[in-house]
Structure 1
Amino acid sequence: MTAAELATPGMDFELPPELEAHEPPEARGTPRDGVRLLQGQGSTVSHHRFTDLPGLLRAGDLLVVNTSGTLPASVPVAGAPLRVHFSTELADGRWLVEVRGADLGRRPGQPGPLRLPGGATVTLEEPYSRGRLWFASVTTRTSVIDFLHRHGQPIRYPYVRRQWPIEAYQTVFATQPGSAEMPSAARPFTDRVVTRLVSAGVQIAPLVLHTGVASPEAHERPYPEWFRVPPGTARLVNETRAAGGRVVAVGTTAVRALETVADEDGRVAAGEGWTDLIVTPARGVRAVDGLLTGLHEPKASHLDLLAAVVDRDLLSRCYAEAVRAGYLWHEFGDVNLLLR
């Protein structure tokens, strides 16, 4: 596969099944911070381990990380071979949910109530997107978050062959539960890597964006997600840019949150709420100079966001090289550092 073959709208390419990460790296005999890291910058693509990250950044750079914690957001339906995936809590108290079969395949669902464990009910009201996500009202005896921790499991897809505990889906930065799926770009970070980054003069700033249920089949555009950029993070972003440092987002979620509160000059303000921002190459990015991210599926809408950070030719060469060199995809796979 060549870069030219990948340089098409939507980045369509063939992902060989053997490049899908089926389990956490720890189960493969690799520590969290031992996964591979592919760097793309300018005209150069280079191979590293994640533990090399402190040497790939510069003193004065700023990493912006998502501190959202992962929920056990997959709950079985009583009396039916179905599971409900809790995606996003909306401002009116309803949820966006997805219905899947016991085989983890996507199901269109029908309007009406579904009985859940513990006497809870989720009522599908109307479709939100292409028959996949639904507006739903939820009735539980406790808060929905408590209900999920009592009765749910982490969301997984068929390429993950067995269930792993919720701890496998948490990052070292996770402090506020709320994401249906792990903000996985930050998974390789460990205490020792963070210590080395700080010692090298790289600052780290937090924000929150509760990510909803992605779909490896649908490749849909993003939907509203709740975020918060605190005043301290906004200040650090602005100070870093003014001093000539680089703002490197850890994950597409961090890009989406920062760009939501950035003005046309790239100055960031504190803010919170639900964002429906779609970052595309046509829009570009204003506050972000780089991105640490996982490897995304063919035609995934996230690839448009990546192409807003670096040019499509570099992105295409990164993906061609990742396939050639046998990098691993998905939430338990390897990572890609893209610098403008």
Structure 2
Amino acid sequence: MRIGVPREVKNNENRVGLAAAAVHELVVRGHEVVVETRAGAGSRISDDDYRAAGASVLDTADEVWEQAEMIVKVKEPLPEEHHRLRAGQILFTYLHLAADAQLTEALLSSGVTSIAYETVQLPDRSLPLLAPMSMIAGRLAAQVGAYHLMSPLGGSGMLMGGVPGTGEANVLVIGGGVVGEQAALMAHGLHANVTVMDLDVARLGQIANMHHGGILTRYSTSLDLAEQIEQADVVVGSVLIPGKRAPKLVTDAMVASMKPGSVLVDVAIDQGGCFEHSRPTTHSDPTFTVHDTVYYCVANMPGSVPVTATSALNNATLPYILRIAGAGWQDALRADAALAKGLHTHAGRLTHAGTGEAHGLEVTEASQVIG
């Protein structure tokens, strides 16, 4: 199979779909790889690195999209890329379609076969291709929360961990999944007072036990959530329902009760965000204010640490890329029920229930498409 790797065009997205080591693994198995020039520059991978791994380096994105049977990306195609989508081609990347009606329509009208990293799901309900980026985003959430507490950035002027004789910041993490646990772990490491809220009591118990009581846990009700938000200096939103829009858990009234200069970091923004006022922001313009609080809603947080993120992403995606390239997408999905959950569109048909629910579209069972 011929696999194409275009350069990412999202604001400050410096990750790349395939690192040179992944290209080499594909080439030694008899596949061809075409890479757009400077696609890996943000991740410190040069064109010569790709050539040494066996890839062909092409001058334009149009050439890559035209020649490739499968496109491997990091982020969803932006509107300026939609015209390149075509029937008979496989697109393997993060999509987050429940929050993007325009892209959903573009995928359906093009006829492309799209498989989303974030909904590949193992029998234990874990998300193997989302997990590494969730770990990074969670750790970054604590860092950016601490950073934006600084008064020149609109924050309250509090040092997250304080120093002896002063107070520490109260950090509230909503959602105890991979993102939430990593955010809590990082904030705890910065000596903040950390509370994690979730509806899953068993998961709260795991977090409490793993961290020997150093991270507090609370069952999430709307009343308790409102009380915790009023006391918080930093709130991290990390609620995830795979393939569906995130629920709006933090209301305008809750935010209005917060201390001036508090910071809200919405890691769920790819799925629409879990705060009422959330809207996507970029690394070049990452924040906005609501009721004297600072909102950070960057939709590609791991893109700010691309050397780490590209490596971590490839570690997770490469086995699946090899299966699709080796067997073809239909046989690969037939043989792997987890991978089959990633299928979203094929030949103008939508195959993911969460996306259909979000946009009011008819859904075809994936099994009917896979055969």
TM-score bucket of the superposed structures, by smaller chain: under 0.3
Identify the structure with the greater helix proportion: 2
Structure number with greater Rg is: 2
TM-score, L = length of structure 2: 0.24
Higher relative contact order, structure no. (Cα contacts within 8 Å, ≥ 6 residues apart): 1
